[in-house]
Structure 1
Amino acid sequence: MKLSPNEIRDICELLQKGKPLPEKYRFLLFGDKRELELVWDGKTDETTSVVLPFQTIEHIDEPRSEKEIKLQQQLFDTAGRQVKGWADKLIWGDNKLIMSSLLYGPLRDEIEAQGGIKLIYIDPPFDVGADFSINLEIGGEEFKKEPSVIEEIAYRDTWGRGADSFLSMIYERLQLMRDLLAEDGSIYVHCDWRVSTHLRLILDELFGNDNHQNEIIWHFVKGASGDDRFGRKHQTIYWYKKSQDGQIFNREAIGVPYSAETLARARRGEARYQVSAEVLEEKGKNPGDVWSDIHPLQGNSIENTGYGTQKPEALLERIIKASSNEGDLVADFFCGAGTTLAVAEKLGRKWIGSDLGRYAIHTSRKRLIDVQRQLKKDGKQYRAFEILNLGVYERQEFVRVDGDIRAEERERIRAEKERKFKEMVLQAYKAEAVQSFRNFVGKKRDRLVAVGPLELPVSQALVEAIVEECRDKGISKADVLGFDFEMGIDFAELRKGGVDVQPKLIPRDVFDKRAIEKGQVKFYDLAFVDAQVTVKGNTVAVELKDFSVFYEQDGIERAEEKLKAGSSRAVIENGQVVKVAMDKDSDIVTREVLTKKWSDWIDYWAVDFDYESKKEVVRDEDGVEEWTGRYIFENEWQSFRTKKNRDLDLTSAFRELPKGRHKIAVKVIDIFGNDTTKVMEVKV
């Protein structure tokens, strides 16, 4: 490093004035040897290393045949369910925290035992103007589900400052993905014209230009066109390998047919063809880096789940076949509708998938159960999979603050944001603030009030801490307010301990100051489920008897204001989905309730006939196993709606149980992907 006297003088003056140094001094002072780098406001090389415990919510495994049980007795129990070996992971939560916990936590050893992650495919949210609502079918009508508040906040963090926010989000996550990959692993990053230029530079920086394998063009035969530009008819997929140690590329697994003309020339023995037409026909040709033979998903496709950004299975099949082998571990940390996971399962790969959207996890769950059923029908092997939460969230993740602020200032801003948020919620809930409690911040009449985090679901650990504080201090009634709740929290079971703990959903209106001032903000109870157990000899079955929800979205009067002649809109008010329509000729507005039966709200339900048979055991960083005190829901029977078949069985099949007392758990998931669990005791 050699600075001129003028440069030294300028640096001193700028530092004395508290001003930032010009960009050129980064290279002069620190000798950065990178020839080319993308720089944006907020860029930092820091990545999170937080390790949070995973909570296993559900274990899903279609029972095997008696023949398969006998062949592999060490892997399966007497019911044909997997008890040993790798179980695939479907994880709900922020993928940054998920990947950090996979990278630095005890699950890393389990991943390494599988040979590490050989392939990562991601299709991140690269469209700044994308509509993340989801179209659902209710009573033969289409209803648009808006994203949850937590999903909206995550999207705001991704695109709040435009490209700068997106680049900060993806840069940190790509670093974590790079570190998770095996040395011979590959990553495929799907994008389009909006961010392709930026992503190429970032990937070159993180993986090295020497490790860039292909820029794949996925070309659409049909696509958007315009009068002022050429039609945009392609998306880009960047393929990078982890290191120079090599990568998997199965050329023969992805061959595409030669043209009839080429095969005819080979049969005629033309000199340019060194092999026979039969060999050419069997192996096929390299598909190249422009893929026009794979078409985007059509609305009437049997694959279509209704998820907006869903990709065709053929696209993932080519990528997975090319860059992994049977038995390898592949991952998708923006899994959406679960296409990567479904194709990986069909091709005999192990997998890890994650998404922030609860509905995405639910869509993937149903799809993967269908894959298990089909593989069983075809006599092929499949693995069990688990649904996991990030069980406990550290406080510093509750309210995010820009990373370029000093630690003390960051903590002060975070604490202030958290305080104001809870004040706002208490005001909307018409509760008064209280002090001197570990978990409670308010009181409404004779009930104490706890408020969950702004950006994360209320965790089971938080609810258990609230109940414990109630018992310690002789409190009998408590409300827990949250935008969302972790899957699998059984409030009815918790109430049996003598504390009346009631969960309440915080509505979107809590951010509307006018609604708060007018006292118009309504908080809603979680869903209610009623079920009945029938015992016949040593067998039992479960029948759903009732299900109630208390959501609101839009509201009828607000929808009527937005209607145009001949249009309609579905809204939720007072726990009912209502279609509001305006006649195209008379402007008369009509209302029709679409949820005519309580079962219309149910998308999926499942039964665990022996709920306390599978304990949730976690390993700490030293490898020591410990029971958490909770049980894992084993999905032993289920019925759910698909796009093709909207029917739902409301009575389960009978299941044989040993004599004695058993706890049966019923899990119901509504049309928005929210789950409710009920546990019942039965004597056989």
Structure 2
Amino acid sequence: MNSEIKKPASLNRTIRLTSGDVKNYFPQLLRIKKKTRLSEIENRILNQDLNEVINFLPEKFVDLLFIDPPYNLNKKFSETNFRKKSLSEYEVWLESWFVKLLPLLKSDASVYFCSDWQTSIAVFNVLNKYLKVRNRITWEREKGRGSTKNWKNCHEDIWFCTVSDNYYFNADAVKLKRKVLAPYRDQKFNPKDWKSEKQGNYRLTHPSNIWTDLTIPFWSMPENTEHPTQKPEKLLAKVILASSKEGDFIFDPFCGVGTSLVVAKKLNRKYCGVEIEQKYALLAMKRLNLADNDKSIQGYADGVFWERNTLREQIIHKKSK
């Protein structure tokens, strides 16, 4: 007896591919087999293995490199499986392709490299050989599953590095708007470091290396796909706004379903991504197409990032007026 295909719930906004999508977007995927000019890869997705294309890419074109490789876990993606290695083997694997990316970087480029807690040291060891390591960002990846014999794992790391001491960083572009629970006033009863608004009291805070305001994409969010390790658009917006200017070039060698590319497009940056899985590359193309009509980024509005769920409260308040 064949199992019935369940229809998605009415509020399920997960992006999926149709046969029409495949027909429309497949011709737009790029494959290269020789040295390319920058204009040939600008705002394109290379549907190939990174090792097949890495020697054909232009030199010194990347302003911001975002790397989210497979973590050292047994993980099945669409058509490929990643098998867990020893930590030393994983470090060798990282370095084997990372050194080939270095010629692509401009002298003032920044690099953000994602990892989990188990491989964070291996990632640092590789990065510290070739770049200036500036910081380690730890972000809360909250999820429902837990453990009965260990602490629940709900965070990941992002290493922030630069090629040189000459690099771009815009702290004002990534300030976080927080609710003030205990507002303090000076002796003249004026608000200190916060502002009273109709919806409550808020202050703008400088960005730190602890990010607790992110929401992992799930079924009711319009950015959600079937990718098992999709990063939030809000996370990429923080990275891109902090370490690039409009018109800069963002490169992602493991772009998956294209979150970095979509956010780059929404924020008026140039981009290029490499993705071995055809399904994910096609989903990325669909998301890029959707971004033509929707520039919004969940949790980011009016030039600031909002604490988790607080922006939604503002929107509800405005609609109720």
Q: TM (normalized to structure 2)?
A: 0.72
1:124 to 57, 69, 74: 69
Structure 2: distance between partners of 1:265 and 1:258: 17
Residue identity opposite 1:194 in structure 2: Q
Equivalence for 2:173: 253
Structure 2: distance between partners of 1:86 and 1:284: 38
Equivalence for 1:90: 45
Residue identity opposite 1:308 in structure 2: P
Number of residue pairs matched by the alignment: 258
1:326 to 243, 246, 259: 246
Mapping of residues 110-509 of structure 1, within 5 Å? 116-133=61-78, 147=79, 151-152=80-81, 155=82, 159=84, 161-207=85-131, 211-244=132-165, 246-261=166-181, 264-265=184-185, 268-269=189-190, 277=195, 284-374=204-294
Contact 1:251 1:322 survives alignment (8 Å): yes
Structure 2: distance between partners of 1:303 and 1:92: 21
Residue identity opposite 1:253 in structure 2: A
- The alpha carbon displacement at 1:231 in A equals 1.2
Structure 1: distance between partners of 2:172 and 2:113: 23
Equivalence for 1:420: none
1:53 to 25, 34, 39: 34
- The alpha carbon displacement at 1:296 in A equals 1.3
Tell me the alpha carbon deviations over residues 327-373 of structure 1, each in whole angstroms, 9 at most, x when there is no partner.
Answer: 10011110001000000000000001001111121111111111124
**Aligned-partner SS, 1:284:** strand
Structure 2: distance between partners of 1:365 and 1:168: 32
Distance 1:165 1:86, change over 3 A: closer
- The alpha carbon displacement at 1:202 in A equals 1.4
- The alpha carbon displacement at 1:287 in A equals 2.5
Residue identity opposite 2:121 in structure 1: T
- The alpha carbon displacement at 1:282 in A equals 9.4
Structure 2: distance between partners of 1:260 and 1:282: 5
**Aligned-partner SS, 2:76:** coil
Tell me the alpha carbon deviations over residues 479-517 of structure 1, each in whole angstroms, 9 at most, x when there is no partner.
Answer: xxxxxxxxxxxxxxxxxxxxxxxxxxxxxxxxxxxxxxx
**Aligned-partner SS, 2:73:** coil
Contact 1:187 1:241 survives alignment (8 Å): yes
- The alpha carbon displacement at 1:277 in A equals 4.2
Q: Structure 2 unaligned segments of length 5 or more: list them.
A: 1-31, 296-321
Q: Structure 1 unaligned segments of length 5 or more: list them.
A: 1-50, 57-83, 134-146, 376-684
Distance 1:250 1:131, change over 3 A: same
- The alpha carbon displacement at 1:233 in A equals 1.2
Structure 2: distance between partners of 1:122 and 1:206: 15
Equivalence for 1:628: none
Give the root-mean-square deviation of aligned CA atoms.
2.9
**Aligned-partner SS, 1:257:** strand
Larger Rg: 1
Residue identity opposite 1:228 in structure 2: K
**Aligned-partner SS, 1:296:** coil
- The alpha carbon displacement at 1:263 in A equals 5.5
Equivalence for 2:18: none
Contact 2:178 2:203 survives alignment (8 Å): no
Distance 1:262 1:255, change over 3 A: farther
Contact 1:218 1:236 survives alignment (8 Å): yes
Residue identity opposite 1:198 in structure 2: A
- The alpha carbon displacement at 1:122 in A equals 1.3
* Higher RCO (CA < 8 A, seq sep 6+): 2
Distance 1:123 1:276, change over 3 A: closer
Structure 2: distance between partners of 1:268 and 1:212: 44
Structure 1: distance between partners of 2:169 and 2:177: 18
Tell me the alpha carbon deviations over residues 597-647 of structure 1, each in whole angstroms, 9 at most, x when there is no partner.
Answer: xxxxxxxxxxxxxxxxxxxxxxxxxxxxxxxxxxxxxxxxxxxxxxxxxxx
- The alpha carbon displacement at 1:123 in A equals 1.1
- The alpha carbon displacement at 1:235 in A equals 0.6
- The alpha carbon displacement at 1:268 in A equals 3.0
Contact 1:99 1:177 survives alignment (8 Å): yes
Structure 2: distance between partners of 1:276 and 1:373: 35
Mapping of residues 578-657 of structure 1, within 5 Å? none
Equivalence for 2:56: 101
**Aligned-partner SS, 2:185:** helix
Tell me the alpha carbon deviations over residues 59-116 of structure 1, each in whole angstroms, 9 at most, x when there is no partner.
Answer: xxxxxxxxxxxxxxxxxxxxxxxxx9984121111213322211xxxx44xxx5xxx3
Contact 1:337 1:360 survives alignment (8 Å): yes
Residue identity opposite 2:125 in structure 1: L
**Aligned-partner SS, 1:238:** strand
Equivalence for 1:7: none
